């Protein structure tokens, strides 16, 4: 059976936006395949469940080895993105070009800079992400790290919430936060996790050297498997009746504590 696709795949590249976080997207198997092969900055690809054609096999082969998340979804989700002839495939365009830790870390050391990273484990709220990115840029963080799955997307709303910080702050999308933590530790970076499970106050940690701060989602926190491999656990005292701080506020507290420590080293 012959696979049907748009005769003019470029038509799918128009200025189309989805109601899903105001994200730009392209659709159609051939159009998405060509975008992947061309190295376009793609945030994620949605593919209809049980869709199996020769062209979709080519698409999966092209996606293999990339860090583009792929989700198998019901047709209803695709129809909510667009009612046009999507052929069971929709790709969301990223607002930024993702970078890789393995490229950034060596460069920082070569330039005699002290690495400073923020890792987000399970943070999915676009406003919190934008606010954290804005603080990262102001605090001199070298890159913000997110995982491929269970993470916020870098879309137009995120860029807007960050006041444009995401257009200058490097964003690394790694396979997983666990993998990123291991890589950073092996690269001489001290990894500090902010968690209510910690007994040490955040002011007691040492942020003066190469450091990475790990923040978790407000509802679930940092995954236990990731907490176990961090070098140090810290918590921010809560003196009121509400049980926790907003994650973007908590991240800001730790980042500026790090600035205080790192400023003393330069004196």
The domain locations on the chain are: 9-93, 101-266
Q: What are the two backbone dihedrals, phi and then psi, of residue 5, each rounded to the nearest 5 degrees?
A: -155, 165
Say whether pLDDT at 197 is over 80.
yes
Average pLDDT over residues 165-176: 94
Average pLDDT over residues 8-30: 60
Residue 151 C-beta-side C-alpha neighbours within 13 Å:
28
Domain 9-93 in CATH 3.40.800.10 = no
Say whether pLDDT at 229 is over 50.
yes
The SS3 assignment for 126 reads helix
Average pLDDT over residues 62-86: 91
Residue the block writes with tokens 């080519």: 58
The pLDDT score that the predictor gives to residue 154 is: 87
Fold annotation for 101-266: Alpha/beta knot (3.40.1280)
- Label residue 17 by pLDDT band (50, 70, 90): low
Say whether pLDDT at 228 is over 80.
yes
CA dist 200 and 253 (Å) reads 15
Say whether pLDDT at 91 is over 80.
yes
Q: How far is CA 257 from the centre of its chain?
A: 23
Q: Which pTM value belongs to this model?
A: 0.83
- Label residue 15 by pLDDT band (50, 70, 90): very low
The pLDDT score that the predictor gives to residue 86 is: 93
Q: Which two tokens stand for residue 33?
A: 């395949």
The SS3 assignment for 143 reads strand
Average pLDDT over residues 70-99: 92
Residue the block writes with tokens 């500090």: 192
């Amino acid at each position: 059976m012959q696979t049907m696709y748009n005769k003019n795949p470029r038509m799918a590249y128009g200025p189309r936006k989805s109601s899903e976080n105001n994200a730009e997207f392209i659709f159609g198997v051939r159009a998405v395949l060509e975008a992947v092969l061309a190295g376009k900055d793609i945030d994620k690809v949605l593919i209809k469940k049980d869709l199996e054609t020769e062209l979709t096999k080519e698409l999966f082969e092209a996606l293999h080895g990339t860090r583009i998340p792929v989700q198998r979804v019901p047709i209803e989700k695709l129809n909510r993105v667009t009612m046009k002839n999507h052929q069971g495939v929709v790709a969301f365009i990223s607002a930024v070009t993702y970078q890789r830790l393995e490229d950034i870390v060596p460069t920082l050391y070569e330039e005699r800079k002290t690495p400073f990273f923020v890792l987000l484990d399970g943070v999915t709220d676009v406003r919190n992400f934008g606010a954290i990115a804005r603080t990262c840029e102001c605090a001199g963080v070298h890159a913000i790290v997110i995982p491929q799955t269970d993470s916020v997307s870098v879309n137009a709303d995120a860029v807007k919430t960050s006041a444009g910080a995401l257009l200058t702050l490097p964003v690394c999308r790694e396979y997983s936060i666990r993998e990123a933590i291991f890589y950073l530790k092996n690269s001489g970076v001290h990894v500090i996790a902010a968690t209510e499970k910690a007994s040490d106050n955040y002011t007691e940690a040492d942020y003066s050297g190469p450091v990475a701060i790990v923040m978790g989602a407000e509802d679930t926190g940092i995954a236990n498997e990731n907490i176990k491999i961090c070098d140090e656990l810290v918590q921010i005292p809560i003196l009121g009746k509400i049980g926790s701080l907003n994650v973007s506020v908590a991240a800001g507290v730790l980042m500026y504590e790090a600035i205080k420590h790192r400023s003393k080293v330069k004196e």
